[in-house]
Structure formats: structure tokens, C-alpha cells
């Protein structure tokens, strides 16, 4: 979907502006309420198409359910709205996982009701535990915790199905199989109708999916190229926007799976696209290393300035050149020439060093400047090598080779602490709702529990469940008001389904258009889900007004209860999230220093991107000094982690002089004790790193063996990156005080 974007001069808006101008209304009024209602007054054509096709699918599902005389036909359109998305790939992916979740939830519900006949307390305990376990599993599945993670949605759908079947079955356990079959029928009917109708609105699906993969990569490359070009031009603050760019690229990576669904499983375009995007993210790590080395003025020699200007010009022109497929061979040729130039310049620096070493006396200051310049050029060459690999994968995603067997799996980083918190949050909320039902003997307590179970299943795995449930509560209040009007005014007057459908078209279109507005998404989800539930159409063409009140009141109370629970029980604590993240980064660095290759470089990059996305999500994108400091700390932790892996690789090759290898091992041994929670070894680690830098610098200045000198320079570059990051981000790495926040208070 387009996020509610509209053309600058929509015809309807032009007419309204002209009318208001003639009446004398001011421009601020125009830019005020009309700007907020653009999603309704002049929607984007894609958003209007989404609302129209989903409304048609929901009404067809409701009509079939009424035609078949099913007992609760309103569940069929609810399923349609639950799985409908703006693109064919998203809808299909969500439908598949929703069907999987329905099957799992159905079997669990049958087993649960069969195991606890006439035992309400045991039933509530097991139901709460089951929903919590499903949330626990969903949190550990691949992908972000956003609503677009459809693997996680499969577990959400399991909890949803489990709730609606088990609670109805607990009141009539002898007919649990009939209840489960009917609920599964509603869900299957809704999935089928939405899938069929959405397919009719899609044209040239495969071509559009490939074009979207290309556009996403070029968009990511455009932002990265401009950032790295600014860095090469000597702008040290160029990487300050790295967290936002990495979060955007993580979202783009999430979209690749949907494009794969649209293209079918006949090729590996999605695998190549994931590898290409991962290569773009890897460029950031090279940029961070480059930034750390460029802080030393000695690195800014004439060779560096020349090759940096050339690289900057190439990067700035790259995004536009990638839009023309016929120009791609020329792009790769120019990139190969640029890579060759960096290798030549780095070799010239090395040759000049060797000449100075073999012809004493050695000018130490000059030799050090040449060394620093050569190291910086060498890192730039590594960054260009990564760019070459990423562009190669991009071209293969655009033109897959014959007999392609390339695979690039979706990365998974599990956070057991978050999964446990999500499990407890859902279980305790559901259990307390059951206790309220038992202690009050509320006749509609099962309906209240059903809505609580739905909210717990949907939102307990989100990073900000309190904010989501509050928006859901607002949507529930709005849909109750709309359903009240329809139930008491429109529905009693209709006698055939065609008239009922005409009555439901405007409010359904309203909900579909609201879903396209980013500020109203969660409220619109509640509105769309519960509209037909509250109206409760019957086969006789009328509705039960008493049933409306017995459904609307539990619905609103359940939303308010969940909002309160998410704010009081295990609420989101931004300080705690940041502290845990900081502890995990320090633990990762200690682990990398202790053991060999427990993580691959792409794992370090991936988990760091995940942390940055989570950090931004916990504050809803609102940046401040503390958040900026933590984001810089996450980037610095990633840079140090990659440098440690480089040192590990150098030690494994065993080409260093014994003295240099001992210095690196001593430094890693000190890093293995790096900064625990109650204070600890930051100063010692920093001193050990500086001592290793000085020792290797001395060895390098007197080493006459070329291969050993190259290895020393590689190790020295990684050690210098670590030393620079430890000095630049001392407040983050030194955990003698628990938080960074008091520093900026």
C-alpha cells in the first residue's frame, strides 16, 4: 500500500478548495481538517482499490455464510479483514500462515476442552498457558515483531482460533467437534473469498514483483551511496543516520518474502535479493571501520584524497546508473577499475614502507603516515569488494542464471528474555480475565474472555503492546458507535441480503480507507474486525438488539482491561530495554573474545540491526540525546565485534610473528573479561588494546618479511578500530554506572 499518499492536485480537492475559497474560509482551515481527512476525501487509487476489493470479499463471505445458514456468519467477514493486505504477496503469505494457525488452534482447543470437562479453573489455567506458549513460540520465529511478520501471525492466529473455539466449547463440551468444525469453516471461507477476490485485482503480478525487488534495492543503494560518498568527502557526521537507514533496509528485507510469494517458487530471485540487501548492510560495517581510521589525520594523504574523490563520484552516480539494465556491464567495469586502483595504491604504500625499512635510518613519522594511509585505502578496497559482491547478487536477482541453486536463508535471532515476558504477559492477562468471569458469575463473561484472548493473541508479541491496545480500544469504541446506528436504524428495515450488503458497503469502505492511513492502522483493524461481530446479522434478515449490547459492552471492557494490564504487568520499560541491550552487546563482545567463530560476521551485523530497530520502535521513532547515544553504542559494538572476528581470523591463519600473536591473544584475553554489570575492566581493556597497537606498530616498523608485514598491518587496522571505538564511546562501554541516561539529564 502507498501509506495514504495522494497527488498534489487531486480533482476533488481542487473543487473543494475552490468552493471554500469562494465562501471566504481561510487557508489554515484547509491545511488543518482537510489535510487530516485526505485519506477519506481523496484516497490514493491503490488504497481505494484495497478498500473496495476487501469490502467485496467480506460481503461475499458473509453472503455465503448466510446462504449456508451457518450459526455465526459474522466470523467469515472478520477473517477476510484479518488477512487482507495491500499487496497480493502479503495477502497470500498471511493467508497461508493464518490457515496453519487455524489448524493448530483447532486441535489445541479440542484437546483442551476434552481434558477439562466441568473444571472451569483448570480450563482457564490451561487456556492461559496455551495462549502464553503460542506467544512464546511466535516471538522466537524469524522476522520482526511488527504486524507484517506473518510467521508470527501464524501463532497469533492459533491463539485467536483457540480462544473462539475453546470458550464456546467450554459452555457445550459435548458438541466441541461441531463447534470446532463450524469455526474452521468460517475461517476457511473467509480466507478463500479474500484470496480469490484479491487475485482478480492483480495484473502482471510476476513482473510487478520483480520490479519491486529492483526498486527496493536501488532505493536502499541510493541512501547508502550518498552516505558513504559524504564520508569519503571528509564529513565525519555522515553515518549519524545509519540507524534509520538500517531500519528501513530491514523493512525492505521483510518485503522480499512477499515478492517471492507473488513470483512463485520457480526461481531464486528472492534469495539473491536477500543476499544483495545483506551486502548493502555490510557496506555500513566497512564504512564504520573506515570512519574510525579516518579520525587519524595521518591517513589523509595525497593518494587517499585522489582515490576517495574518485570513489565518491562513482557512488553518487551509481543509483541512477542501476536503473538502466543495459548500463550494468559498464558499471561493473568502472567498479573493477576503481577496485584495481585501490589495490595499486595500497601496494604502493606498502612498497614505500618496505623501501624505508630496508634503507635506514627510518623516518618514523613519515613511515607512520604512509602506514595509516595504506590501511585506510585497504579498508576502502574491502568496502568496494563488498559492493561488487552485492551488485553481482542484485543482477542475478534481476536476471536469474539458468539452473540456479543459490540459497540465502532468512536470519533468526532469538531473544529468550523477550519471549518469556510476552508469554507471561499473555498468560496472566488471560488468567485474570477468567478469574473475573468465575468470581462475578457474569453471564457474558465468556464473551469478555474471548475478546481478551483475541487481544492477547494479537498484541502480546508486539514491542509496544500498551500503545497498540490503546489504539485498538479507540477503534472498538468507534465501531461500537457505528454498529449501534446500523443495528437500530438500518438492519431492522432490510429484508433481503442485497439490501443488507448495500447498508454495509459505506462503513466497510470507511474502515478500509482508514487502514491505509498510517496513523489510524491499529484503530482501523479493530473497526474492521468487530463491525460484523457487533451487528450480528442473522439468516432472517434482522438482528438481535439485546445481543448488540451484550457484545459491545464486553468488547469495550475487554479492550480497556487489556490496555490496563499492558500498562501495569510487565510494562514496556525503555530504560530496561536499553540496559538489557547494552548488557547483551557486552556479553557478545566477551563471547567473541573467548571462543572462535561462535558468530559469523553477518550474524553480528544482523543482530545489531535488529537491536537498532527495536530501540527505535520502543520510542516510536522519537529521537533524543539518550537514544542517539545508545544507537551510536550499538553501531560501535557491531564495529568492535567485527574487528574481533577479523583478529580471530588472522590468528587462525598463523602467519603473524610469535610476538605479535601473543600481543593479540593478551588483548583478547582482557576483552574476554570486558566490563561486567558491577563495573569492571573497561580501563584495563582499553589499556591492553593501546599496548597491543603500540607493540604491533613497533614490530611493523622493523619487519622486513613482506607476508608477515601484511598480516601485521591487517591486525593493526582492526586493533586501531577497536581502540578508536573504545575511546569514542567510553560512556557506552564502561558499565561502572548502570545507565547512560543520567549523563544527559
- Residue 454 makes CB contacts below 8 A (sequence gap 6+) with 160, 163, 164
pLDDT of residue 349: 85
Mean pLDDT: which of 184-188, 368-372, 404-408, 494-498 is highest?
184-188
**Of 80, 114, 287, residue with least CA distance to 197:** 80
pLDDT at 739 over 60: no
What is the domain range of residue 686?
Answer: 585-744
Residue 26: pLDDT band with limits 50, 70, 90: very low
Torsion of CA 584, 585, 588, 592, to 10 degrees: -170
What average pLDDT is seen over the chain? 83
Q: For 238-242, 646-650, 732-736, which range has the lowest pLDDT when averaged over its residues?
A: 238-242
Please name the residues in contact with 148: beta carbons below 8 A apart, sequence gap of 6 or more. Answer: 90, 254
Same domain for 419 and 322 = no
Q: Are residues 410 and 124 in contact, defined by beta-carbon separation less than 8 angstroms?
A: no
Model confidence at 31: pLDDT above 90: no
The one-character DSSP state at 496 is: S
Tell me, yes or no, whether 225 and 273 share the same domain.
Answer: yes
- Domain match, 197 and 335 both: no
More confident residue, 556 or 248: 556
Exposed e or buried b per residue across 334-352, where buried means at least 16 C-beta atoms within 10 angstroms of its C-beta: bbeebbebbeebbeebbeb
Rounded Cα distance, 505 and 482, in Å: 13
Confidence grade of residue 557 (pLDDT, cut at 50, 70, 90) = very high
Lowest average pLDDT, out of 315-319, 321-325, 353-357, 708-712, goes to 353-357
Number of domains in the chain: 4
Instruction: Determine the average pLDDT of the residues in 675-684.
Output: 61
Residue 738's pLDDT is: 58
Residue 405 belongs to some domain of the structure: no
pTM, 2 dp: 0.82
Query: 622 and 693, same structural domain?
Result: yes
- Tell me, yes or no, whether 370 and 451 share the same domain: no
Residues 222 and 162 in one domain: no
Over 90: is that where the pLDDT of 59 sits? yes
Is the domain of 495 the same as that of 590?
no
**Percent of the residues in the chain that have a pLDDT greater than 70, as a whole number:** 87
Question: Omega before 361 cis (within 30°)?
Answer: yes
Q: What residues contact 587, with CB distance under 8 A and at least 6 apart? A: none
Flag whether 728 is in a domain.
yes
What is the average pLDDT across 83-91? 79
Q: Degrees (nearest 5) of the Cα angle 638, 639, 640?
A: 95
Highest mean pLDDT among 87-91, 306-310, 574-578: 306-310
Residues 4 and 58 in one domain: no
- Share of residues in the chain with pLDDT > 90 (%): 30
136 and 269 part of one domain? no
Place of cell 552487546: 585
Residue 388, pLDDT above cutoff 70: yes
Assess whether pLDDT exceeds 60 at residue 19: no
Q: What is the pLDDT of residue 740?
A: 57
322-368 per-position pLDDT tens digit: 988 899 999 999 999 999 999 998 888 888 877 776 777 767 777 77
Looking at the fold, whether 561 and 466 belong to one and the same domain comes out as: yes
pLDDT at 420: 92
Do 454 and 601 have their domain in common? no
Amino acid at each position: 500500500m502507498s501509506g495514504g499518499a495522494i497527488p498534489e492536485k487531486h480533482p476533488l480537492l481542487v473543487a473543494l478548495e475552490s468552493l471554500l475559497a469562494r465562501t471566504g474560509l481561510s487557508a489554515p482551515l484547509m491545511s488543518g481538517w482537510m489535510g487530516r481527512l485526505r485519506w477519506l476525501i481523496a484516497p490514493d487509487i491503490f488504497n481505494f482499490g484495497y478498500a473496495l476489493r476487501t469490502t467485496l470479499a467480506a460481503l461475499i463471505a458473509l453472503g455465503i455464510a448466510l446462504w449456508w445458514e451457518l450459526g455465526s456468519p459474522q466470523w467469515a467477514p472478520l477473517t477476510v479483514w484479518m488477512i487482507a493486505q495491500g499487496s497480493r504477496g502479503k495477502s497470500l503469505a498471511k493467508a497461508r500462515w493464518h490457515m496453519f494457525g487455524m489448524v493448530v488452534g483447532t486441535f489445541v482447543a479440542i484437546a483442551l476442552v476434552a481434558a477439562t470437562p466441568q473444571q472451569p479453573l483448570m480450563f482457564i489455567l490451561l487456556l492461559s498457558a496455551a495462549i502464553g506458549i503460542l506467544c512464546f513460540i511466535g516471538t522466537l520465529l524469524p522476522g520482526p515483531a511488527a504486524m507484517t511478520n506473518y510467521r508470527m501471525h501464524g501463532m497469533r492466529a492459533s491463539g485467536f482460533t483457540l480462544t473462539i473455539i475453546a470458550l464456546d466449547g467450554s459452555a457445550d463440551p459435548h458438541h466441541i467437534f461441531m463447534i470446532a468444525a463450524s469455526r474452521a469453516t468460517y475461517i476457511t471461507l473467509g480466507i478463500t473469498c479474500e484470496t480469490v477476490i484479491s487475485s482478480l485485482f492483480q495484473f502482471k503480478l510476476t513482473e510487478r514483483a520483480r520490479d519491486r525487488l529492483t526498486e527496493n534495492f536501488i532505493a536502499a543503494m541510493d541512501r547508502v551511496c550518498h552516505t558513504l560518498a559524504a564520508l569519503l568527502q571528509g564529513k565525519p557526521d555522515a553515518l549519524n543516520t545509519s540507524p534509520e537507514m538500517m531500519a528501513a533496509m530491514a523493512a525492505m528485507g521483510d518485503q522480499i518474502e512477499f515478492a517471492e510469494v507473488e513470483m512463485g517458487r520457480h526461481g531464486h530471485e528472492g534469495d539473491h535479493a536477500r543476499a544483495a540487501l545483506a551486502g548493502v548492510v555490510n557496506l555500513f560495517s566497512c564504512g564504520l571501520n573506515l570512519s574510525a581510521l579516518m579520525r587519524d589525520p595521518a591517513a589523509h594523504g595525497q593518494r587517499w584524497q585522489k582515490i576517495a574523490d574518485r570513489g565518491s563520484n562513482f557512488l553518487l552516480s551509481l543509483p541512477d546508473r542501476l536503473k538502466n539494465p543495459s548500463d550494468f556491464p559498464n558499471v561493473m567495469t568502472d567498479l573493477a577499475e576503481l577496485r584495481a586502483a585501490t589495490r595499486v595504491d595500497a601496494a604502493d604504500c606498502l612498497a614505500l614502507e618496505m623501501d624505508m625499512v630496508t634503507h635506514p635510518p627510518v623516518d618514523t613519522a613519515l613511515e607512520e603516515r604512509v602506514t595509516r594511509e595504506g590501511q585506510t585505502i585497504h579498508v576502502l578496497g574491502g568496502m568496494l569488494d563488498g559492493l561488487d559482491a552485492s551488485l553481482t547478487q542484485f543482477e542475478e536477482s534481476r536476471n536469474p542464471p539458468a539452473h540456479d541453486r543459490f540459497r540465502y536463508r532468512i536470519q533468526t535471532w532469538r531473544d529468550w528474555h523477550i519471549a518469556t515476558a510476552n508469554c507471561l504477559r499473555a498468560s496472566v492477562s488471560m488468567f485474570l480475565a477468567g478469574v473475573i468471569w468465575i468470581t462475578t458469575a457474569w453471564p457474558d463473561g465468556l464473551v469478555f474472555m474471548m475478546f481478551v484472548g483475541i487481544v492477547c493473541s494479537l498484541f502480546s508479541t508486539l514491542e509496544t503492546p500498551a500503545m497498540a491496545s490503546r489504539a485498538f480500544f479507540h477503534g472498538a469504541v468507534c465501531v461500537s458507535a457505528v454498529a449501534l446506528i446500523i443495528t437500530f436504524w438500518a438492519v431492522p428495515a432490510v429484508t433481503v441480503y442485497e439490501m443488507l450488503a448495500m447498508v454495509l458497503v459505506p462503513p466497510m469502505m470507511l474502515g478500509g480507507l482508514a487502514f491505509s492511513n498510517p496513523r489510524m492502522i491499529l484503530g482501523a483493524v479493530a473497526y474492521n474486525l468487530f463491525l460484523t461481530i457487533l451487528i450480528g446479522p442473522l439468516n432472517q434478515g434482522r438482528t438481535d438488539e439485546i445481543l448488540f449490547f451484550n457484545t459491545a459492552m464486553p468488547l469495550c471492557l475487554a479492550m480497556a482491561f487489556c490496555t490496563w494490564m499492558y500498562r501495569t504487568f510487565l510494562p514496556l520499560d525503555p530504560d530496561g530495554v536499553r540496559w538489557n541491550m547494552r548488557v547483551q552487546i557486552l556479553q557478545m563482545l566477551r563471547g567473541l573474545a573467548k571462543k572462535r567463530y561462535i558468530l559469523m560476521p553477518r550474524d553480528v551485523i544482523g543482530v545489531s540491526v535488529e537491536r537498532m530497530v527495536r530501540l527505535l520502535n520502543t520510542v516510536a521513532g522519537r529521537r533524543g540525546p539518550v537514544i542517539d547515544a545508545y544507537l551510536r553504542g550499538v553501531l560501535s559494538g557491531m564495529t568492535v565485534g567485527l574487528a574481533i572476528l577479523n583478529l580471530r581470523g588472522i590468528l587462525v591463519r598463523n602467519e603473524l610473528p610469535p610476538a605479535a600473536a601473543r600481543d593479540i591473544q593478551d588483548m583478547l584475553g582482557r576483552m574476554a573479561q570486558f566490563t561486567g554489570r558491577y563495573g569492571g575492566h573497561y580501563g584495563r581493556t582499553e589499556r591492553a588494546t593501546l599496548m597491543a597497537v603500540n607493540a604491533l606498530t613497533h614490530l611493523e616498523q622493523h619487519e622486513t618479511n613482506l607476508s608477515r608485514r601484511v598480516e601485521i598491518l591487517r591486525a593493526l587496522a582492526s586493533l586501531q578500530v577497536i581502540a578508536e571505538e573504545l575511546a569514542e564511546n567510553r560512556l557506552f562501554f564502561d558499565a561502572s554506572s548502570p545507565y547512560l541516561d543520567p549523563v544527559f539529564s
